């Protein structure tokens, strides 16, 4: 008997294709679910803090105080509304109806015209510390703009140093341009690992594995034959997400299609191999789904750099994140969407993805052999 037979592998592959096309749930999960997730997460995730509810009390009621409030309301970042008493503002902060409160004291305009400076009180809701730093940056800008507006001076006067900032790769600081490539990794991983985590378990639970093991087919041929159809489905899901990113969310693509496709195929194979390992080890669909969520999906969301930057994690978690293909794929995907680096700049994540595929496939084959004994 030959060590590896393409004919036997093809037979398993065709059998799996027939099962897939006879199962509407599998097709829906592979093709419709990615589109739904990218539409929901793409619209829901927003890293820029906007529409900040600002409660204000104006005890001065002068032209200067009105200009200060107008400066806050002239952008999309603040939404000022008037309150009558400090108690009302504190209640709104406690109930999260407001994110901050501005109190303009009496004689504010007089101080601005005589001492060229004025004092106001601002109270911030510090419970959500992720937004406080962004709001403080906005306040620095508002402070400068309001000063020149109240004094009737051009915004460029009396500045000892003029700084002109240019943001590379994402000039608008659009959070969707940053988030959607990461969402792509999350969706492809979800589809790939969930589809394959159930495939071997289903054979065991339905009793068809015994018939399959009675044939001369080898473990390698079974695993590869079952992996290829789901690789095709996952790749179709990737293109659905990619087209949604380009034409629905208008995320630019500046890189090489060849590099992105190559990285996507390696990423898909890595998570398919992970799903097969889970399926081979668990033997039960319910257990396989739990393993897939704990081992695959949670690390993909938390340790891939999709939400939290890898470089700011403790060294231990940076090492753990390197065990999962999503970390390296997110790096490549974001790079190709926004930066367009060459393959020579990305050889490290490509090498890591290739090594992970080999290791996961060897684990799956080894564990599958043990179940035959």
- 10 Å CB burial of residue 371 (0-12, 13-18, 19+) is middle
Residue 31 is predicted with a pLDDT of 83
Q: Are strands 100-104 and 52-58 parallel, antiparallel or unpaired?
A: parallel
Q: From residue 122, how far is each of 69, 139, 282 by CA, in Å?
A: 12, 10, 57
Q: Are strands 100-104 and 121-124 parallel, antiparallel or unpaired?
A: antiparallel
- Domains of the chain, earliest start first: 6-45+173-372 (no CATH), 52-151 (3.40.1710.10)
* CA distance linking residue 239 with residue 373, whole number of Å: 41
Residue 164 is predicted with a pLDDT of 63
Q: Return per-residue pLDDT of the chain as tens, 373 residues.
A: 456 788 888 888 898 888 888 888 778 878 888 888 888 888 877 777 788 899 999 999 999 889 999 988 887 789 999 998 888 988 888 888 888 999 999 988 888 888 777 889 888 887 766 677 778 888 888 888 888 888 776 655 555 445 566 677 887 778 888 888 888 888 888 888 888 887 777 777 777 776 777 777 887 888 888 888 888 888 998 999 999 999 999 999 999 999 999 999 999 999 988 888 888 887 777 888 888 888 777 888 888 888 888 887 888 998 999 989 999 999 999 999 998 899 999 999 999 999 999 998 888 888 775 444 4
Q: What is the pTM of this model?
A: 0.79
* CA distance linking residue 54 with residue 80, whole number of Å: 4
């Amino acid at each position: 008997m030959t060590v590896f037979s393409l004919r036997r592998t093809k037979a398993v592959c065709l059998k799996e294709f027939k099962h897939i096309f006879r199962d509407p749930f599998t097709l829906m999960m592979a093709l419709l679910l990615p589109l739904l997730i990218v539409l929901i997460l793409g619209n829901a995730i927003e890293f820029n803090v906007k529409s900040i509810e600002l409660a204000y009390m104006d005890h001065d009621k002068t032209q200067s105080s009105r200009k200060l409030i107008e400066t806050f309301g002239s952008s999309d970042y603040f939404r000022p509304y008037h309150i009558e008493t400090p108690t009302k503002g504190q209640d709104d902060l406690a109930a999260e109806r407001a994110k901050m409160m501005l109190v303009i004291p009496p004689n504010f305009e007089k101080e601005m015209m005589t001492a060229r400076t004025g004092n106001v009180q601002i109270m911030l809701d510090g419970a959500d510390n992720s937004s406080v730093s962004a709001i403080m940056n906005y306040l620095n800008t508002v402070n400068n703009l309001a000063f020149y507006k109240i004094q009737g001076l051009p915004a460029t006067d009396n500045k000892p140093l003029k700084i002109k900032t240019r943001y590379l790769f994402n000039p608008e600081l659009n959070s969707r341009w940053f988030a959607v490539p990461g969402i792509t990794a999350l969706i492809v991983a979800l589809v790939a690992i969930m589809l394959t985590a159930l495939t071997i378990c289903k054979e065991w639970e339905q009793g068809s594995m015994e018939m399959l093991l009675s044939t001369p087919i080898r473990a390698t041929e079974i695993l590869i034959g079952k992996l290829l159809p789901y690789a095709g489905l996952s790749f179709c899901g990737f293109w659905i997400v990619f087209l949604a990113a380009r034409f629905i969310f208008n995320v630019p693509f500046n890189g090489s299609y060849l590099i992105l496709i190559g990285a996507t195929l390696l990423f898909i194979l890595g998570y398919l191999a992970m799903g097969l390992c889970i399926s081979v080890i668990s033997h039960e669909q319910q257990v396989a789904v739990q393993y897939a969520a704990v081992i695959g999906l949670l690390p993909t969301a938390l340790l891939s750099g999709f939400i939290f930057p890898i470089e700011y994690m403790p060294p231990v978690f940076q090492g753990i994140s390197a065990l999962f293909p999503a970390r390296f794929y997110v790096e490549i995907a974001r790079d190709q969407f926004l930066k367009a680096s060459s393959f020579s700049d990305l050889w490290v994540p490509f090498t890591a993805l290739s090594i992970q595929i080999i290791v996961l496939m060897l684990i799956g084959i080894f564990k599958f052999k043990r179940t035959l004994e």
